[in-house]
Each structure stands twice: as structure tokens, then as C-alpha cells.
Chain A
């Protein structure tokens, strides 16, 4: 009986020592975690006036979006007979000739993505986001004689205007994505077909890393290739069969917004 009491006494003692040690560790960790609460020893408020001087100034870093083809002609990928619509579903597709590129360079516009002009963001560092949107949801048809309303159709979930992006190379403060993945790129296709499904994000950089951009080795830029696809639904009949039909889809707008500036 006495032995069991002694055992209990010992175990409780050990437990309290462990608890005490943990408390010490925890307390030191906590004190480190709240170090900012170390109260201000000297604080002073003062208002001052702005000063100006005449000096040469650096160009202001400006976001540019380039490489957007003014229009893209989609060719027959599948369906139809010999490249002609025959009443069955037809898929038209085309990869853009150039990669879209968003980059920073000086406001004089003399630089490019790979050879930007020296610039600074001054006090207005920004991020950038590029997204796609459409504001009409119909595809209109014309043949060599004029409009062919029989062949017009509305975009839908099964035949949307689809744009697929593949990241080419993105740079953040001189590092490619392999080293520093500051850019968020769309990893799947953007399907646009209705007011509720009229947009999608292409690429986002929350905030530039560096204020000063001396050359392309530290510039922030991102490129992506794109493939456009449209489907002409089955069951349509042209007004003038045998004529060549050109379909015109909605315009794709590349919206650029500059947050945190």
C-alpha cells in the first residue's frame, strides 16, 4: 500500500516537472511571438512640408499587354465533309500566332517585354491581373452574298467559346516560375457562353516584388500561348447551300486591372 502511494507521488512529481518545463518553453515562445508589444520607448509626431527639386526623373514603370492578335481565324478541326458544313457538328480551332505577354517597362513606351526600359514604380507598386470576357453570346454567319441567319446560333454550355492557355515563361524579380511562383496562371480552359459564364482569369500577379526595374533581369513579366475553339452545332441548314460561310463569334476582351496601386 505504501509502495503504491510512493509511486503515485513520484509520477505526479515527474508530471509537474514536465509541465513546468513545457511552460518555460511555451512562455519563451510566446514572448517571442508577441515581441511587438514591447512598448514604444520614444514616439514623436510631427507634420512636415513637401519639398521639391529639379532633377532628371526616371520613367515610371507601366504595365503593358501585348501579343494579342486583333482577330483570329479558326479553321476546321473536325466534323463536316472536306472542310464543309454538312449538318453535323463541326469544331473550329486555332492557336494564336503570338503569345500574349504582360510586362513592366518605362512609360515612354520604348521598351519591350525582353528589353524593358529602366523605370521605377515610385510610390505606387502595383500588381496586375489579366482576364477574358465577352459581352455577346451569339455567333453570326455570313456567306458570300450576305447574312445567313439560318446558321446563326447561341453559345451554350455544350458549345461555348473556349480559350485554353498554356504558360510560356513567367518572371518575378528576375526569377522564372521554376524558382519563384508569384504568378497565378489559369490551368484550365475558359468556357464563355452566357452572362453568368462570360469571363475567366488568365494570369495574376498580386504585387510586384521590386520597386526599381533596371533591366529585364529584374522585370516582372508573364507570357502564355492560347488556343481558341468554337463548335458549330449540328442540325443547321444554310440559306444558300454550297456557299462558303464565315462565322463571327463574340469579341474576346483582355481585361487588365491594376490592384493595390
Chain B
């Protein structure tokens, strides 16, 4: 009995204080999701905030903000300038020039926990504005609806956080003639990327006046095996293609797609314009990169070189002379003597030189023989002389005395 009372009172206490505890625990976290709703229209049917309007005309697009937080969040909608940094459009911090044309139907509102809100933006192009394209960024910012309390007995610093979803807004202003939507499926290329994944890249050309952000899908039907087909595969939208631009939709295929001959059906659409094109091609999915091309070029160079060698004949090794345009000047100098040598002449020169050497050596040999003979003769004549012997005897006698 006592136990049950204890449990009951604990449950009651939790029930009373739970919202407070829960609020405190969750108070720290912001969280939102963001979606642009696809609609029709001249450049509609896509997930981008694109408008194609004549002067004085209005257009409406919708987007959705979804709370993934447990606290109230203040939502603010602004239109900021689109800056280009390193070739990429990014949201700036200054207000956009087109912010006066575009009005959200609700702004500065509280988004309740786990709720969502659909917001319309109405674009009304001024009558006196020039034809052209105008860009901006929609910025949807979520921050805490209520300021948080701070401790006051120590030195501290507060840093507030906010989340902002940024989405490019593109307004094409012009008359009906300048708002033609048309495109062509040009070609497709198969390849294998560096990670070993197979791809098919489909090329499109914008033949109209309005920007393209195509949706595309692709189906492969084998011509070798009747029941073998793959797909449809759906590509991410193409990058934005302006008038006359050629762009690519990339399809990453599963590895099970085998090389072979296929009929390839490409379907692409924007708004109410659909285009289909059928290709029949042999897909080999070659690896990207120039390694094989380098081998081919190397082979080609060597073949040309060998033909050249054969044609140059066997008389002279003058290849380097003829190919000296390929050799740096410094190297040419060092090669110059060797590459112009006529072998026969060279050997003849060596023989002549050797002959002279031999002759000189023989001469030297003859001279030394004559000298030796003369020396021998002198020695013999010395041995035979008696006066010399007498002088020698006389000298020894004097020393003994």
C-alpha cells in the first residue's frame, strides 16, 4: 500500500514537472528541414525557385519549412544577393535588388515544435524593368523564439546560433518570344570512373530561351539477349543550362550492367515538354584517363621511328642528325661528331694511323739495334788494349807502398 502510494506520488510529480524538465532539456536545440514544392509554369516542374515572367506579370512558388525541433523557432524570410565566388553562386549578406518584387505570404512567424508551414512567394515583375535574368537567394532563418537565461555570478560569453537554408531564386524577365522552352538530347558516352563505377553521361542542348534543369531517366535493353534490360535509372537534375548551353546528366549504373550492345532509351523533361531518344550502341565502359592513349601514341612514335630507321638505309647512322629537331641544342653538340661518322672512312683513317705507328716503331727498333752493336764493339776494343793494363798495375804498387 505504502509502496503504491510512493509510486503514485512520484508519477504525479513527474507529470507536473515533466514539461518544465522537458522544455529545459530541449531548449538548446534548433532544427528545421526545407523543401521547394515543384509546380508547373514556363520553367516550372522543377525543384528550383525559377520564374519566367513578362514585365508586369506575377508568378507564385511554394516552399515548405518543417520543424525537427522541440522548441518554438522564429522563422525569418529574406532575399539576399547572389554572389559568385570561385565560379560558384553563393548567398551574400546584402539584400537583393529583386527583394522588392518578391513577397512571402508569411514572415517572422513562430514555427511550433514538429510542425510544418507552407509558404508562398509571389514574384511581381515591375513594368519598367529591362529584359534579362535576375538572381537572388531565398534565406530561411530559424532561431530561438525566446532568449535563453544566463548565469550571472561568473564571467561568461554567450554565442547565439541560427540555421539558415539558402535557395537560389532565378527570375527570367521577357516577353513570350523570349520564353521558348526547347531542348535536344545530343549523345551519350559510357565510362568507368576512378572508383570502378560504371556511368553513362547523356548530353543535352538548350535550344530554347528559358533556362533548363532537366529531369532525365535512362533504360538499357540488350540487343544480344532478348529479356535482358536495366533501369530505368534516374539522374540528378542537370546543372542549369542557359540558351545554347550543352550540359550533361550523369547516370551511375550498378556494377551488374555488363558490357555489350544495347538499345538505350533516354527520356528527359521539363515542365510539359518531354523528349525521348533511342540510341543503339556497344557499351564497353572504358576507364577514364589517358594511359591507354599514351601507350597508343608511344607505339605510333616507335613505329614511325623504326620506319625511318629502315628507310635511312645502312650506309650511315645519321638518324640523330635528321631527328635533331627533337634533341635539345646542348645534346646536339655532344652528338654532332658521332652521328656523322662514315664507318669506312673512319676505319681507313685508323689503318693509316696504325701503319704510321708501326713504321715509327720499326724505325725506333732498327736504331736501337745499331746502337747496341756499336757499344759491343767499343767494349771489345777496350779489353784488347795493353797500355791500359800497365797503368792499372802501376797504380796498385804505389798504394801498397
Contact = CB atoms under 8 A, between A and B. Distances in A.
B292 A26 contact: yes
B68 interface: yes
A48 B167 CA distance: 31
A69 to B, nearest CB: 4
A4 interface: yes
A84 to B, nearest CB: 6
B292 A19 contact: no
B151 interface: yes
Contacts of A109: 33, 66-68, 114-116
Given A4-B343, A67-B31, A256 B297 contact: no
B159 interface: yes
A104 to B, nearest CB: 9
A42 B310 contact: no
A139 B287 CA distance: 55
A82 B55 CA distance: 67
Interface stretch (B101-109, B121-129, B271-279, B380-388): B271-279
B234 interface: yes
Given A12-B309, A62-B66, A90-B155, A71 B161 contact: yes
B96 to A, nearest CB: 15
Nearest to B165: A256
B263 interface: yes
B295 A252 contact: no
Contacts of A60: 35
A57 interface: no
Interface in A16-57: 16, 18-27, 29-30, 32-36, 38, 40-50
B344 interface: yes
A14 to B, nearest CB: 9
B14 interface: no
A177 B381 CA distance: 111
Nearest to A84: B155
B295 A29 contact: yes
A247 B188 CA distance: 60
Interface residues on A, range: 35 or more
Contacts of B188: 36
Contact of B34 (A38, A62, A69): A62
- The listed residue with most B CB atoms (<10 A of its CB), out of A69, A207, A230, A248, is A69
A244 B160 contact: no
B180 interface: no
Interface stretch (A72-80, A164-172, A214-222): A72-80
A245 B155 contact: yes
Contacts of A45: 184-185, 275-277
B162 A252 contact: yes
A72 B154 contact: no
A70 B160 contact: yes
A139 B157 contact: yes
Nearest to A127: B236
A17 B153 CA distance: 89
Interface in B122-172: 141, 143-144, 147-148, 150-167
Given A30-B293, A36-B281, A254-B163, A247 B309 contact: no
B158 A248 contact: yes
B292 A33 contact: yes
Contacts of A29: 291-293, 295-296
Interface residues of B, number: 101
B279 A74 contact: no
Given A16-B310, A62-B34, A228-B159, A70 B71 contact: yes
Interface stretch (B22-30, B360-368, B392-400): B22-30
Nearest to B307: A16
A107 B33 contact: yes
Contacts of A15: 302, 305-306, 309
A43 B278 contact: yes
A154 interface: no
A68 B161 contact: yes
B93 A135 contact: yes
A254 B46 CA distance: 26
Contacts of A257: 90-91, 165-167
Contacts of B275: 45-47
A109 B156 CA distance: 36
Nearest to B306: A16
Nearest to A206: B236
Interface string A82-103: 0111000010100001100000
Given A47-B275, A244-B153, A247-B158, A22 B237 contact: no
Contact of B164 (A72, A76, A254): A254
A249 B159 contact: yes
B64 A107 contact: yes
Contacts of B293: 26, 29-30, 33
B205 interface: no
A190 interface: no
Interface in B280-332: 280-284, 286-287, 291-293, 295-300, 302-307, 309-310, 314, 317
Given A16-B307, A16-B309, A19-B305, A247 B156 contact: yes
Closest 8 CB pairs of A and B: A26-B296, A29-B292, A22-B299, A66-B31, A16-B306, A19-B302, A70-B144, A23-B299
Given A23-B300, A41-B281, A66-B69, 17 more contacts: A19-B306, A43-B279, A47-B274, A50-B274, A66-B68, A72-B161, A83-B154, A108-B116, A122-B38, A144-B152, A228-B159, A246-B152, A247-B158, A250-B159, A251-B162, A252-B159, A256-B165
10 contacts: A22-B295, A23-B302, A33-B286, A42-B279, A50-B274, A60-B35, A70-B30, A76-B154, A126-B236, A253-B161
